[in-house]
Amino acid sequence: MEHSDQLKNTDLMTLTRFILNEQHKYPEATGDLTILLNHIALGCKFVQSAVNKAGLAKLIGLAGEQNVQGEDQKKLDVLSNDVFIKALTSSGRTRVLVSEENEDAILIEKGKRGRYCVVFDPLDGSSNIDCAVAVGTIFGIYQVTEPEREGKIEDVLQPGTKMVSAGYCMYGSSCELVLTTGEGVTGFTLDPSLGEFILTRANIKIPKAGKIYSVNQGNAVNWDAPTTAYVEACQKKTKSLRYIGSMVADVHRTLLYGGIFLYPADKKSPSGKLRVLYECFPMAFIMEQAGGQAFTGKGRMLELVPTKLHERSPIFLGSYDDVEDVKKLYAEKASS
Ligand code: FBP
């Protein structure tokens, strides 16, 4: 069914109303997740407006500090991080927060605690901020069952299969928020004049195979044999190479057009570059919910059990058949 026909059959739906409708499917639902997701959407609107006027408002350039990864923080990194910590804390529905920009987990104080833990990358793709190329926010949500106890990092050092919701917001030519609560994937576009996220992509399904591969080919000399063989096979099949260098933008294109995004391990970064909790898991959850898959080079991404907050992992995600091809090459290597 043509996307436009699909939309013709879809009423004008805001993100808030969509989440409320989802909530009503569960009579036992408390509305806490609804409130939390709306606070995340509010944070995205704030960051969208800051990203939009970054060049004018002198928000580009360095903030003069470094984050836990030893990376120079950009002004927008710091601002986005502050915005999300504020939005998540003031929701009153969180217990543990883990941000790419903070070394330690933020444990919410008594009286302001809720039962959700949020892991997030407030502004992903920082190398593209100053040239106004698409960047984004990535988030994943875990639930803590025991009521009212203090949060602890073990609450988030859980496999990705335990995530109850995940999403990203891309700040590009239009601002798109893509969300899953475990029942498929839905896309919303921000209408700046209304200040509302409007449903524009219902029930997103990634094509089973794609004609695009996305990787930083500059690292090729350091790749292992299966990755090298896979990319060579893509070239032989004259697949198109597309690489923006912002995971959110590269994954968003992969989700809609099909194909594969990979950030493999290499001699320089033996564990890859991307962080498990707030980059790999949320994107893997979305990919699987859209009919694709995500692989670590050893196994299913979502089954990985992280031991550190800022742990990294190689990742291969996208169309089901494309990732199957990668898995075959690693299986051959493992059996040889
Ligand atoms: P941060 O910008 O949040 O640190 O994210 C990492 C990232 O920029 C991803 O968005 C992107 O996929 C990758 O690093 C690009 O890395 P490289 O420049 O090595 O290709």
Quote the pLDDT of residue 222.
Answer: 97
Q: Is the CB of 94 under 6 A from ligand 1?
A: no
Q: Is the CB of 249 under 6 A from ligand 1?
A: no
Q: Which atom of ligand 1 is nearest to the CA of 248?
A: 10
In the chain, the N- to C-terminal Cα span, in Å, equals 45
Q: Please say whether the beta carbons of 100 and 120 come within 8 A.
A: yes
Distance (Å, whole) CA 276 – CA 264:
13
Q: All domains of the chain, ordered by start, with CATH?
A: 3-201 (3.30.540.10), 212-335 (3.40.190.80)
Quote the pLDDT of residue 10.
Answer: 56
Residue 289, pLDDT > 50, answer yes
| Distance, C-alpha 73 to centroid of its chain | 20
Q: Please give the share of the chain, as a percent, with pLDDT higher than 70.
A: 91
Quote the pLDDT of residue 130.
Answer: 86
Task: Tell the residue nearest (CA) to atom 16 of ligand 1.
Answer: 245
Residue 62, pLDDT > 80, answer no
Q: What is the pLDDT of residues 218-245, one digit of tens each?
A: 999 999 999 999 999 999 999 999 999 9
Q: What is the mean pLDDT of the chain?
A: 93
Look at strands 116-124 and 135-143 and give their pairing.
antiparallel
Q: Which atom of ligand 1 is nearest to the CA of 77?
A: 3
Task: Tell the residue nearest (CA) to atom 3 of ligand 1.
Answer: 124
Task: Tell the residue nearest (CA) to atom 18 of ligand 1.
Answer: 245
Residue 17, pLDDT > 90, answer yes
Residue 318, pLDDT > 80, answer yes
Q: Please state whether the predicted TM-score (pTM) of the whole model is above 0.85.
A: yes
Distance 245 CA to ligand 1 centre (A): 6
Quote the pLDDT of residue 71.
Answer: 62
Q: How many helices (H) does the chain have, and how many strands (E)?
A: 8, 15
Residue 74, pLDDT > 70, answer no
